[in-house]
């Protein structure tokens, strides 16, 4: 999972990982007593997220998808 730096705080990071885990368990089934998947979290540093020939800062991305900054 790749996100812009600062897009997740501790609470949203934990929630995201838990939800991804539920999706994997639904798809491949849980394995009792062992891990059945891993989630790797990567944060792209501010000023390094770009598309369509333009650099997008976190505030730009939040504005485009109509998310108010916390």
- Kindly report, residue by residue over 48-60, the tens digit of the pLDDT: 999 899 999 999 9
Nearest alpha-carbon partner for 15 in 32, 31, 3, 27: 3
Determine the pLDDT at residue 3. 93
| Domain extent for 60 | 2-64
Backbone angles phi, psi at 10, to 5 degrees: -60, -45
Domain membership flag for residue 52 = yes
Total number of domains in the chain? 1
Domain membership flag for residue 69 = no
Domain membership flag for residue 10 = yes
- Kindly report, residue by residue over 14-34, the tens digit of the pLDDT: 999 999 989 988 888 877 777
């Amino acid at each position: 999972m790749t996100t812009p730096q600062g897009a997740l705080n501790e609470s949203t990071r934990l929630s995201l990982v838990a939800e991804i885990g539920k999706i994997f368990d639904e798809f491949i089934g849980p394995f009792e007593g062992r891990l059945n998947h891993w989630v790797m979290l990567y944060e792209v540093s501010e000023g390094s997220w770009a598309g369509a020939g333009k650099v997008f800062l976190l505030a730009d991305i939040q504005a485009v998808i109509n998310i108010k900054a916390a």
